[in-house]
Structure 1
Amino acid sequence: MKRFLIAIAVAAATVTTPALAADVGVSVSIGQPGFYGRIDIGDYPQPRVLYRQPIIVERVQVVRPPVYLRVPPGHAKNWKKHCREYNACGERVFFVHDDWYEREYVPRYQEKHRDRRDDDHGRDKKNGKGHGKGNGKDHDRGR
C-alpha cells in the first residue's frame, strides 16, 4: 500500500511540475522589443492596422469596443490558433503595424509613464534610505 501511495505521489508530481514550470512570470514592458499584447489606444493617434475589418474567432452577443493588439508576425495570420494566448477569442481584434507601434505608441506611452515614475521617486523624503521605520541597528531603542 505504501508503494502504491508513493507511486501516485510521484505521478502527480510529474504531471503538475510542467504546469508549474510553464507559469513563470516574465516582465516585459511596453516599448521593449519582446512586448506583444493589448494596447490601450485611448487618446493615441489612430493606429495603422494589418486588416481593415476586425478579426473575430467566436461571435458574442454583447458588442464591445475593438481590441488593438501587437502580435508576432505569424499570430495574425493564424489568429484562431493564437487568440487564447491574448484572451481575445471572442473579441473584435485589430492588429497594429509594428512601425506605428514603435513610432507613435511607444514614445507617448513612455513619456506618460515616465512622469508617473518621477512622481514616485522622492514621495517620502522624510523616511529616505537609512531612515526607515524599524530598520537597522537599535531600531527599537527608547521603547
Structure 2
Amino acid sequence: MKVLLLKCCAIAVLLTACQNPETPEVEGQSAGEGNPSSQFSDYQYSMLGPGPVNYGAAEKRRQPMDSLAEENTTGKSFRSVHGDRPDYNGDQNRIASEVEQRSGVHPGSVIIMGHRAWVNVMFDDNVSEDEQNEQVEALEQRLIDVLPRYEYQVVINDRS
C-alpha cells in the first residue's frame, strides 16, 4: 500500500514538473514589453525554481516578445485597435465625396453589399435627361477608377 502511494506521489510530481510554463501573453505580461521590470520570471520567487526539465523553456521565456511577428497585417485586421484600416464607412464617404465634386449632382445614400455598390444621386432641375445619362456614365467610370473593388450602379432619384 505504501509503495503504491509513493508511486502515485512520484508520478504526480513528475507530471507537474514537466509542464511548459505559460507564455507572457497568457500571464498578462505583454502590456509592458518595453519595461524590463515586467520581464520577470516567476520562478525566481518560488522556493524550488522551475525544475531541471523546464530550464530550457525558462531561458526562452526571458527573451522579449516580438509583437510585430504576432500582429496580423492584412487589410481587414481587427486585432489591433491602432491605426487606420479600410472599412465600408470609409468607402461610402469616398464615393459620396466623388459625387459631390461633380457640378449639378448631389449625393444620396450609398449602399454597399459585397462587391456591389448602389449610389443614389440627385441632379439639379435644369439638367436634361441626356446630360444626366452622360454624367452617370462618367461618374460610374470615375468611381471604378477611384475604388475598383466594387461594381457600381448609379440610381437617379428625384429632388422632391
TM (norm. structure 1) is 0.24
* Larger RCO, structure (CA 8 Å, separation 6 or more): 1
TM (norm. structure 2) is 0.21
Larger radius of gyration: 2
Structure 1 or 2: larger strand share? 2
